[in-house]
Structure 1
Amino acid sequence: MISVSILISLLPMSFGCGVPAYPPAVSKVVGGEDARPYSWPWQASLQYSSNGKWYHTCGGTLIATNWVMTAAHCISSSRNYRVLLGKYNLAAVEQGSFEGFPEKIIVHENWNPQNVANGYDIALIKLSEHVTLNSHIKLACLPPAQSILSSNTACYVTGWGRLQTNGPLPDDLQQGLLLVVDYATCSKSNWWGSTVKPTMVCAGGDGITSSCNGDSGGPLNCQGADGRWEVHGIVSFGSSLGCNYYHKPSVFTRVSAYDNWIQWVSFEMLLLENIKT
């Protein structure tokens, strides 16, 4: 029989989550900016190997000491991946950082790469070893199941994505203030229309600040009433017209819509581990 305490410890929920040792420098600044170093300590860099080198491809979120959440569209069966945690500058060697490798990658079974607008753009990476938490690496909090953000909630998208459409990739972690756009507005015909689904979160659309290529899979961080940061979204897609196109806000997988799936994947993996032993 599986111990309930063991199960709970392995699920992506943790007391003390969502509280950085170095609080982020949050402001109402419009436009992306360098993040305060290590102020988003659950931010992961998903990288793939090519010709002996590693390249950043997507972001991710540490939700348990051996689980990273990212977008399904970030995963290709033909690539080898690694996960970096505790990073600020991807070009530098940084004390307290962690390099981990996937033991297993689980992409949502309903994900269809030919139909991104259908949703289910979520994947979980089980690391081959547990990461030791420190001041640079902490767990993210996940929101309550089915919770919906209010319109104009101020959230931050974070990542190492391009600084603008077709622009350069930064070495330093970036953050961008985005205001949530409710589903009723985002699904209007002059916004995203039927492309956006209730299982998604829209944020931005002011034509100035947005996620961009390379931010995919990373978190949409929103501060709760208790001061803890919760990851409400996973960067999923933006407009083909450009990264910061007016009335085409960044679209995120709504994490609270997949609470049961996240819990089930964790539980299923734990069952398999116990069967093997």
Structure 2
Amino acid sequence: MQPHQHIQIYHCPNRSELTAAFGCGVPAYPPLVSRVVGGENARPYSWPWQVSLQYNANGKWSHTCGGTLIATNWVMTAAHCISSTLTYKVLLGKYNLAAQEAGSVAASPAKIIVHPYWNPNNVANGYDIALIKLSQHVTLSDHIQLACLPPAQSVLASNTACYVTGWGRLQTNGPLPDDLQQGLLLVVDYATCSKPSWWGTTVKRTMVCAGGDGIISSCNGDSGGPLNCQAADGTWEVHGIVSFGSSLSCNYYHKPSVFTRVSAYNSWIKQVMASN
């Protein structure tokens, strides 16, 4: 890792029977997507697999990370979002975190499985993925739907347009929004992202880089949330889990947001869901 590569993990400071009926990756309220630069409020409930992972401190619940609903009782997030000392809950069907919203659901984790090779002292090693088994199945609805996972080992082409979504900071050290945000990020291929002037050896083939234009990026509080990319048939697939970015600033030039590449972990995800 080159000495100037400072990694910032984006913490906040303070498929089941139903899949057949609903499918995955097809929102009831399609997202409003255009090639807009700069984050923007998402259309309400247009990313219905997005969850807010919250922790309890002194009786108050606070958003810490995003996550993705991948089965009616399983949520995928980043390993670095999980602390063994905290109590968590998962909010589903949310758009405005400050509002009471009809149809939203709060679920408690029955168990949380962090990838066994995750090392919090070496984020650049990868394996930044965790699965949360919910204590009960959630009922799918217009506001709560499943994400599709990409085909195993699939790798996105350079400049594929994807959307990062979350309730993370609007800019470096900026405010936390109440409304879910979306931001267009173009995929940067491994050959480019691993150049010394980009992320160098910090980035691995089990990761996805996206962004790096110096304008738009994920930021603190987006961690664990999805990188949503539209497949040829129009369904949305979650290709990435927000993992890390530059500690210099969220949208530092040639330091794209780095995501755990979901397609590198399909077999691990299936195995965990089958054995728990």
User: TM > 0.5 between the two?
Assistant: yes
**C-alpha distance in structure 2 between counterparts of 1:196 and 1:226, whole Å:** 30
Structure 2 residue aligned with 1:137? 144
Q: Which of the residues 181, 197, 200 maps onto 2:188?
A: 181
Structure 1 residue aligned with 2:200? 193
**C-alpha distance in structure 2 between counterparts of 1:245 and 1:104, whole Å:** 36
Letter in 2 for 1:145: A
Structure 2 residue aligned with 1:3? none
Q: Which of the residues 37, 41, 44 maps onto 1:37?
A: 44
2:217–2:250 contact (8 Å) kept in structure 1: yes
Task: Count the aligned residue pairs.
Answer: 262
1:211–1:250 contact (8 Å) kept in structure 2: yes
Give, in angstroms, the shift of residue 12 of structure 1: 8.9
**C-alpha distance in structure 2 between counterparts of 1:218 and 1:14, whole Å:** 25
Give, in angstroms, the shift of residue 15 of structure 1: 6.3
**C-alpha distance in structure 1 between counterparts of 2:18 and 2:78, whole Å:** 19
Give, in angstroms, the shift of residue 267 of structure 1: 1.1
Q: Which of the residues 68, 71, 77 maps onto 1:64?
A: 71
Q: Which of the residues 232, 238, 249 maps onto 2:256?
A: 249
**C-alpha distance in structure 2 between counterparts of 1:97 and 1:239, whole Å:** 33
Structure 2 residue aligned with 1:223? 230
Q: Which of the residues 19, 24, 41 maps onto 1:17?
A: 24
What is the root-mean-square deviation in Å for CA atoms of aligned residues? 1.4
- The ranges of structure 1 where at least 4 consecutive aligned residues each deviate by more than 4 angstroms after the TM superposition are 10-15
Secondary structure of the equivalent of 2:23?
coil
Structure 2 residue aligned with 1:272? none
**C-alpha distance in structure 1 between counterparts of 2:151 and 2:19, whole Å:** 12
Q: Which runs of 5+ in 2 are unaligned?
A: 1-14
In the superposition, the TM-score normalised over structure 1's length comes to 0.93
Letter in 1 for 2:67: G
**C-alpha distance in structure 2 between counterparts of 1:12 and 1:57, whole Å:** 28
Distance verdict in 2 for CA 1:236–1:268, change over 3 Å: same
Letter in 2 for 1:161: G
Give, in angstroms, the shift of residue 9 of structure 1: 2.9
Letter in 1 for 2:140: L
Secondary structure of the equivalent of 1:263?
helix
Structure 2 residue aligned with 1:267? 274
Structure 1 residue aligned with 2:33? 26
2:111–2:132 contact (8 Å) kept in structure 1: yes
Structure 1 residue aligned with 2:247? 240
Distance verdict in 2 for CA 1:11–1:118, change over 3 Å: farther
In the superposition, the TM-score normalised over structure 2's length comes to 0.93
2:54–2:64 contact (8 Å) kept in structure 1: yes
Q: Which runs of 5+ in 1 are unaligned?
A: 1-7, 270-277
Secondary structure of the equivalent of 1:40?
coil
What per-residue deviation string (whole Å, max 9, x for no partner) do you get for residues 188-237 of structure 1?
00000000000000000000000000000000000000000000000000
Letter in 2 for 1:60: G
**C-alpha distance in structure 2 between counterparts of 1:134 and 1:267, whole Å:** 24
2:171 matches 1:164: yes
2:85 matches 1:88: no
Secondary structure of the equivalent of 1:238?
strand
**C-alpha distance in structure 1 between counterparts of 2:21 and 2:265, whole Å:** 17
Letter in 2 for 1:262: I
Structure 2 residue aligned with 1:105? 112
Letter in 2 for 1:190: S
1:14–1:139 contact (8 Å) kept in structure 2: no
2:18–2:72 contact (8 Å) kept in structure 1: no
Structure 1 residue aligned with 2:12? none
**C-alpha distance in structure 1 between counterparts of 2:243 and 2:19, whole Å:** 20
2:118–2:127 contact (8 Å) kept in structure 1: yes
Letter in 2 for 1:253: T
2:165–2:226 contact (8 Å) kept in structure 1: yes
Distance verdict in 2 for CA 1:123–1:105, change over 3 Å: same
Identical amino acids, percent of aligned pairs: 82
Secondary structure of the equivalent of 1:37?
coil
